[in-house]
Structure 1
Amino acid sequence: MEGALADQHQSGGHSHQQQDVLSHATGVLVTRPEPGLSETVAELLDAGWQPFASPALVVRPYSLSEVPTGLRAVVLTSGQAVPCASTSVDHSVPVFAVGDRTARRAHAAGFRAVYSAQGDASALADLLAQQCRPEQGALLLLSGSGQGQSFAHHLRTKGFTVFRRVAYAAQPVKKISPTIQQALREGRIGYSLFFSAESAKSWLSALPRAMWPAAASTVGVVMSDAAKEVLCKAGWHTVLVAPEPNAASLLSLLGPSS
């Protein structure tokens, strides 16, 4: 995901495993919520895969009733925070985004000065330290409910005044559609994409336990070691971890459909 610092940097070897991937069915389960879901589905279709959309989370964006004045910048750790930023903050305020996709969404939403850290929370903090000085004004950190506290603290240790506000709430989906379950039973889904450990846990909690073996027979493709751990505990035997902390790197593990 770029989501909740979805660009956390993790790595994993996959050269020999990619050969296994090519031998499986061309169906790809996509558990990413919007706005990233549609992007990922479109990219998979372009590459010749058959996407099965099954978002693990339902995201509800917020709008801020009051915004601090004298802001130096808005800080976005997830693309899910862009709608809140767009409706709450003047578009002339510079935006610092954790990754390229979040940056593109901010630019598309009308923000005129957008900077991408092209990575994870550490890269975003470094970018802010390079481009901003604490005396220039406060930072508005927009993140999901229950997220962002440690990142805000880290920025404060660098001397910044940080206002953290909740930009959205992500609730676990309550059930997995019968269509998805049938595709799993029939072996038409060969790969399962999970962009965070949270989404993996949420999706599994909504899937009937009797269906777990069918899901675990797919190749897991994940963004982080934490997500890999969730899948392994649920019975997955093959899990690939994106070498870089972004969606493009994750999708590169699939490549074009043969």
Structure 2
Amino acid sequence: MLEELGWRCWGMESLVIAPRTLSAQRGIAGVLITSSQSIPALSSAVAHDIPVYAVGDATADRVKKQGFQTVISASGNAAKLAELVTERLSPASGPLLLLSGEHQGVELAGTLRASGFRIRRRVAYTTAPATTLPPDALAALRDGQIETVMVFSAASARAFCAALAQTGCAAGSLRAIAISQNTMKELRKAGIQTVLTAQSPDMAAMLDRLGPAPSPSSH
């Protein structure tokens, strides 16, 4: 996508994802998912006629492609997902299954439990940070070809900054585009001073913050 807009790009998988397979969950009124990484576990945990409430539009679209019949997007973050659930559902509806990463979803579960909902939180995947930058990205960084980094989660920010610190490259020379306030805070902790935060946690807002690609003569 970025190449089509005129940007020259290097990629880094900052987190190594290990999906988990869950046993079938019975008596569930709905499922909450905070990341598309939960989708493999979702398919094994519940039938496709169970309503799914997704944190954002991209995740919702991926769930629909798996054949789930009722998928509703909060079009935001975990706080927006909590608002969506309290608006659409009643605690009397039955237990809700929350699928998240190993250290994620705890605050969301607590918020909904405080509102009277019964939440079954299950770990749908685990993550481990990548420890090094890809060789091509490292070479481009050292050559001054990379000026901007786009970071899509706080965990990815921590992994990228830890890997960057091992290279000896100066973090302060980079501009970063962060998908959330928490992501921005992690980047600034590492010494990246110019951090622009997306107005909403989605690709369109990230691209808006990124701005137009430089002209070919400025590469």
TM-score, reference length from structure 1: 0.78
Q: 2:13 matched to which residue of 1?
A: 55
Counting only pairs closer than 5 Å after superposition, residues 107-126 of structure 1 correspond to structure 2 as 107-126=64-83
CA contact (8 A) 1:47 1:255 kept: no
Q: 2:115 matched to which residue of 1?
A: 158
SS of alignment partner, residue 74 of structure 1: strand
2:176 to 207, 212, 220: 220
**1:225: how far off?**
2.8
Unaligned runs of 5+ residues in structure 1 are 1-42
Counting only pairs closer than 5 Å after superposition, residues 1-150 of structure 1 correspond to structure 2 as 43-67=1-25, 69-150=26-107
**Matched residue type, 1:106:** V
**Matched residue type, 2:174:** T
CA contact (8 A) 2:24 2:46 kept: no
Distance 2:182 2:124 in 1: 24
**Matched residue type, 1:80:** Q
1:176 to 129, 133, 143: 133
CA contact (8 A) 2:178 2:198 kept: yes
**Matched residue type, 2:201:** P
CA contact (8 A) 2:57 2:74 kept: yes
Give the aligned length: 214
Please list the CA deviations of residues 107-147 of structure 1 after superposition, one character each: whole Å capped at 9, or x if unmatched: 11111110001112221112112221222221000000022
Q: 1:244 matched to which residue of 2?
A: 200
**% identical aligned pairs:** 41
2:146 to 189, 212, 220: 189
Q: Which has the higher contact order (CA 8 A, sep 6+)?
A: 1
CA contact (8 A) 1:117 1:127 kept: yes
**1:208: how far off?**
4.8
CA contact (8 A) 1:222 1:239 kept: yes
**1:210: how far off?**
4.0
TM-score, reference length from structure 2: 0.91
User: Which contiguous aligned blocks of 4+ residues in structure 1 show a shift greater than 6 angstroms?
Assistant: none
Q: 1:29 matched to which residue of 2?
A: none
